[in-house]
């Protein structure tokens, strides 16, 4: 009667404490930012649309540069196969295609910084606090 009652009371008290902490965790609102809403705020602005319209030629060129360069190098391999092994040629093609994409994207970034000086992509809150 003495020891078993004490153990049972400790069990009930522990279970009550755990249930109370679970209820408190469920009541607290989470303070994580909702990135989906932030992205929608940026994407739905007219400034973002105009910036994307002016950057789209560079993005499309970069998208087409990879397969186009691989096709070019693939058709050109017959002139190099006598002195360049195929694995080396493939590795060279890979790095050259990556550099071509990088150059196209950098050209787009430079163009955007030179010609889009007055536009702001991110929404600005003009609240007077």
Phi and psi at residue 61, to the nearest 5°: -65, -40
d(CA 77, CA 12): 78
Q: What's this model's pTM, rounded to 2 decimal places?
A: 0.54
Per-residue model confidence as pLDDT tens digits over 42-74: 888 888 888 788 888 888 888 888 899 999 999
CA distance 38 to 51: 18
What is the rounded radius of gyration, in angstroms, for the C-alpha atoms of the chain? 31
């Amino acid at each position: 009667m003495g020891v078993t009652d004490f153990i049972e009371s400790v069990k009930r008290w522990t279970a009550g404490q755990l249930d109370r902490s679970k209820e408190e965790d469920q009541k607290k609102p989470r303070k994580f930012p909702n990135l989906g809403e932030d992205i929608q705020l940026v994407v739905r602005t007219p400034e973002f649309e105009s910036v994307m319209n002016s950057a789209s030629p560079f993005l499309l060129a970069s998208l087409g540069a990879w397969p186009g360069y691989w096709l070019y190098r693939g058709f050109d391999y017959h002139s190099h196969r006598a002195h360049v092994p195929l694995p080396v040629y493939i590795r060279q093609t890979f790095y050259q295609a990556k550099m071509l994409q990088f150059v196209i994207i950098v050209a787009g970034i430079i163009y955007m910084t030179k010609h889009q000086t007055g536009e702001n992509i991110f929404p600005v809150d003009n609240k007077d606090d």
